[in-house]
Chains A and B, each alone.
Chain A
Amino acid sequence: MIVRLAWHEFRQQLGGRVFWIVFAVSVLMVAGSMAIDELRVGLADEGTRTGAAAIVRMHLVWTLFFLFTAAAFVGEAGVRDEVSGFAELVRATTVNPRSYALGRFLGAFGAVLLCFVSVPAAMAVAGTVLGLGTGPVEAHLFAFFALAVPNLFLASALFFALTSVTRSMTGCLLGAAGLLTLYGLASDNGSAGLSVIEPFGIAAVADAIRGWGPAQREVMLPALGGALLANRLVWLAVAAALVGLGTWLAQPRAPRRGVRGSLLVGVGDGADPPHTAALPADARRTRSSLHSRSGWSIVGTQICVRTVFEARRVVVTPAFAVLLLMGLAAAAAAAARVIGTPATVTALASSFQLVPTVVALFFAGELFWAEREHHIAPLIAATPAGRAVLVIPKLLALALVFLLLAVTSAGAGAVTELAKGQPPALAAYLTWYVFPKAYEWLLLGALALFLQSLAPNKLAGWGYMIFYLIGSLALSKLGWDDPHYRYGGYPGAPLPPSLSGARDVGWYRLGWGSVAALMVVLACKHRPLDGQQVRQRKSAPPERASA
C-alpha cells in the first residue's frame, strides 16, 4: 500500500507545473554555470568544470539550493489533502493514516530526487557540448548517491516532520530559511571541526580533501570512510528518526482552535432565532444609502481597515515570530562584533537581510493568495470593492511588517551598544537604518506581490521570486551591479548615503519606487480575485446569440 501511495504521489508531483519549472531552472542555471565562470554562484574555483572536485562541489551546493524545492514538494504533499478537504475522505477509508503519510512523503522525496537529477544531467550535457566530456562517472555516482541523496533525504525528512507538527507550509519554509541562516552564520565562523556534525557533509568533504593538490582534486574522490562516513551515517539516522516522527504524528487530530473560538459542539445550533417576519419592516427602516455610496473616502477607509486586518494576519503568526527571533539573533551577533553606531548600522545593514527577504517572499504569497486558498474569494468578488482595495492593503501590511522588522533589528543593535556601555545615536538609527531599510524591503515586497500576480499559484510565485533572488546573486557575481538597472539599487548599497558617502541616492530610490508603484498597479489589474473570467466590458454591446 505504501508503495502504491508513493507512486501515486510521485505521479501527482510530476504532473504539477512546479516540478517542471524547478527542473528547467536547475538545468538552465547548472548549464549556465558550466559555460560562464561568473555564474558559478556558491561554487569556488574547483579546477576544470567536469573534474571530480567540481562535480562534488556542484552537488553539495545544489543540495542547499534544493532546500526550498524539498520544502515545496514535501510540504505540499503533507498539507494538500487537508487544504483541499480530501483528507476527510481518506480518513473514512481503511488506509492507515500513517502509511498514507509515509507513502505521500516517499513519493514527494522521489520527486525531489528526480528533479535533482537535472543537476548531474545538465552538467554532463553542458560538459559534452563544451567539449569537456561528461566527467568521471564514478564522481557523478559518488556525488549523487553518497552526498546528494542523503542530503536531500535529510532535508525532506526535516520538512516532513515540520509539516506534520505544524500542519502548514509555513513550517517547511521556516525550516528551509532556518537551515540557510545557520549555514550563513556557520560560513562566517568557518567549518573547521564540523566534519561530523555539519549535516550536509560540506565540512566533512572539505576535511577529507584538505592538503590535496589541484591535480589530485581533479581526479580523486574523498574516501567514503572516517569522518565523512560517520557524518553520512549520523545524519541518515537523524533523517530516519525525523521520518519516523513525521509518520507517528500523521494521525487525525482535531482542528486547531480559532483565535477567539472554541471547538464546535453545536452550541447555538438549535436555539430559536428572533421572529424573522419582522425583517422587511426592519430592513425598510434601516435601509441605508449604501447603494449609491462610492468615493475616495470610502476607498480610503476600506484600505485602512483591510491593512490592519492583513497586517494582523502576518504579525500574529508563529512563522513571523520565529523569523524575527532568528533575524534578531543574527543582528545582535553582528552588532556585538563592532563598536559605535555607524559601525553597528553597517553591520546590521549587512547581516539583517535574509529575514526581510524571506518575509517578502513568503508573506507576499500568503497574503496574495489568501482569499483564493480559503475559498472566500466568491464572497469578496461579489462586493463592489475594486481590486486595488484588496491588493494595496496587502502591500501596506507588508510595509508595516517591514517597519516593525527594521525597528526591532535597530533596537537589537541599540541594546547591544548599550550593553557594551556605548550610548546609541537613536536619530542615526532612524535616518540611516530604519526608514531606508524599511523602504528597500518594501520595494522587494512590491516585486514579490507583482510576481505572485503573474503566477498561476502561490508555489509558482515563490519559485519566480527565488529565481529572481538567485538571478540577482548571479548578476552580482558577473559584476552587473549598476543601480541604473538593478531593481532597488542605489549607489553605496546596502549602506545609507551618510555612511557610504554616495550622492543622489534619493533619486534612485524615487525611481525604483515608481517602478514598484507601477508593478503594484499591474498586480491590481492583472487577475480577477476569484480566478474566473470576470471582465468589465467597455462600451460596445455584447454580440447577441442570435446575431
Chain B
Amino acid sequence: MLEIEEVSHTYPDGTPALDGVTLSIGRGLFGLLGPNGAGKSSLMRVAATLRSPSRGRLHFDGIDMLTEPRTLRRRLGYLPQDFGVHPGVSAEVLFDQIAVLKGITGRGERRDTAERLLRLVNLWDVRGRAVSTFSGGMRQRWGVAQALIGEPDLLILDEPTAGLDPAERNRFHELLFGLGESAVVIVSTHIVDDVADLCGRVAVLAGGRVLAHDSPGALAGALDGRVWHGPAESGADAATLLSRRISGGRLAVRVLADERPGPNFETVTTTLEDAYFAALRHERELRR
C-alpha cells in the first residue's frame, strides 16, 4: 500500500507543483489523469523518490520513503515520461547496466533477466542494436522492460503508452493488467480510455490538487442521468459544457445539466471522460 499524505511541492522559482495531495493506493492499477501541468509528473517523481516534496509524508508497505529512499528503490520500477540512453550502446548492454545498478550482480541472473524481459517486450531479437537507433515505440518498450527488472512491487509509469501504435498499446495493456495483480502500479496518462479500460481506481489532478478519486465506474456513475449530448448550435447556455467534438461532420457537445438543456439534447451513458471534464470544470468554477 502506497500512502501519500498531504504532499505539497513548490519549485525553487516559486511555481507550485503539488498542493496537499493525499492518496492511498493499494495493489492493482491506479490511474492518474490530468491536463498538462496538472502535477502528474511531479507526483510521479515524488513517489519514485526522485524529488523530495516541500511538505508531506510518503510510506510504502511501512517504508518511510523520505528517510529510506534507497530501501524503497529496491522495490521500485520507474518509467519516466522522457528518458534518453547512451548513444551507440546496445539494448542488452544498457539493460545489463541498469540491472547491475538495481542489485542483480550475478552474470547468469542478469542474462536470464535480460532474456525474459526483452522477450516480454519483443526486443530480444534486436538486443544487439543500439537503443539510440530504436524508434519511439521500441525505445518505450525497452523503458518498460528496464522498469520491470527485479520484479518491483511499486511500479510507476509516466505516460507509458506515449509513442506506441494501437497494436503495441493493446499488448501493453495486457502486460499492465498482469502486473497489477501483484504490485502497486501507478499509470499517468492523458488518454482517458487507457485508464477507464485498465485501472481499478483513478485520481484526477489539476493545479497540483486531487479533484476526484474513485473507481472509473463510480466517477462516471456519479453523473448518471445528468450528461446530455446534442448539437452545438442548439444552445444550452444554462448547462455546463463538458466537451465539444466533431461528430458525423457536425459539431456536437456534451453538457452537464439536471434538466434537458434543449429540445435536441438526449441523455447519454456517462463515461470517465465526462467525469474528468466535469471535475476540471468544477475546479475552474471554484477558482473564479
Contact = CB atoms under 8 A, between A and B. Distances in A.
Interface of A: 255-264, 266-274, 276-280, 282-284, 286-288, 290-294, 297-298, 301-302, 305-306, 309, 313, 370, 374-376, 378-386, 389, 530, 532-539, 541-546
A374 B132 CA distance: 10
A287 B151 contact: yes
Contact of B181 (A260, A280, A301, A532): A280
A89 to B, nearest CB: 16
B69 interface: yes
Contact of B78 (A256, A277, A382, A539): A382
Given A313-B86, A375-B83, A545-B6, A257 B100 contact: no
Given A374-B86, A378-B50, A382-B50, 8 more contacts: A258-B87, A258-B129, A264-B133, A282-B116, A288-B109, A534-B49, A534-B69, A545-B56
B138 interface: yes
B171 A276 contact: yes
Nearest to A273: B122
Nearest to A379: B83
A375 B126 contact: no
A534 B105 contact: no
Interface in B70-103: 70-71, 73-78, 80, 82-90, 93, 96-98, 100-103
Contacts of B76: 382
Interface in B202-237: none
B132 to A, nearest CB: 6
Contact of A536 (B53, B67, B150): B67
3 closest Cβ contacts across the A-B interface? Answer: A258-B130, A375-B84, A261-B130
26 contacts: A258-B89, A262-B133, A271-B125, A276-B174, A277-B174, A283-B151, A283-B179, A284-B182, A286-B151, A288-B150, A288-B151, A290-B74, A290-B150, A294-B103, A302-B100, A305-B96, A380-B101, A382-B76, A382-B78, A534-B49, A534-B51, A534-B52, A537-B67, A542-B53, A544-B57, A545-B6
Nearest to A267: B126
B67 A538 contact: yes
Most buried by B among A255, A384, A530: A384
A383 B151 contact: no
A532 B151 CA distance: 26
Contacts of A370: 86
A204 B66 CA distance: 66
Given A282-B116, A537-B67, A544 B52 contact: no
A264 B100 CA distance: 27
B101 A257 contact: no
A89 B120 CA distance: 34
B67 A309 contact: no
A228 B57 CA distance: 72
Contacts of A309: 93, 97
Contact of B55 (A280, A385, A544): A544
A406 to B, nearest CB: 27
A273 B171 contact: yes
A267 B126 CA distance: 8
B45 A385 contact: no
B133 A263 contact: yes
Contacts of B96: 305
A121 B165 CA distance: 60
B159 interface: no
Contacts of B100: 301-302, 305-306
Interface in B134-192: 134-135, 137-138, 143, 146, 150-151, 153, 165, 167, 171, 174-175, 178-179, 181-182
Interface in B31-79: 45, 48-53, 55-57, 66-67, 69-71, 73-78
Nearest to A265: B135
A297 B96 CA distance: 18
B146 to A, nearest CB: 6
Contacts of B125: 268, 271
A487 B122 CA distance: 53
A380 B138 CA distance: 19
Nearest to A85: B84
A279 B102 contact: no
A522 to B, nearest CB: 20
Contacts of A313: 86
A370 B72 CA distance: 25
A262 B133 CA distance: 7
B84 to A, nearest CB: 3
B119 interface: yes
Contact of A268 (B83, B116, B126, B130): B126
A379 B146 contact: yes
Most buried by A among B75, B122, B137: B122
Nearest to A383: B101
B114 interface: no
Nearest to A539: B67
B83 A280 contact: no
Given A276-B171, A376-B86, A382 B182 contact: no
B52 A305 contact: no
B104 interface: yes
A159 to B, nearest CB: 21
A387 B172 CA distance: 33
B214 to A, nearest CB: 23
Most buried by B among A260, A280, A370: A260
B45 A258 contact: no
Given A288-B151, A297-B105, A374-B87, A542 B135 contact: no
B105 A298 contact: yes
A379 B151 contact: no
A279 B116 CA distance: 10
Contacts of B51: 532-534
B90 A273 contact: no
Contacts of B200: none
B50 to A, nearest CB: 5
A268 B88 contact: no
Contacts of A380: 98, 101
B196 interface: no
A269 B45 contact: no
B78 A294 contact: no
Contact of A255 (B57, B132, B174): B132
Most buried by B among A271, A379, A380: A379
B199 interface: no
Given A272-B122, A382-B73, A258 B132 contact: yes
Contacts of A269: 135, 137-138, 165
Contacts of B56: 542, 544-545
Contacts of B182: 280, 283-284
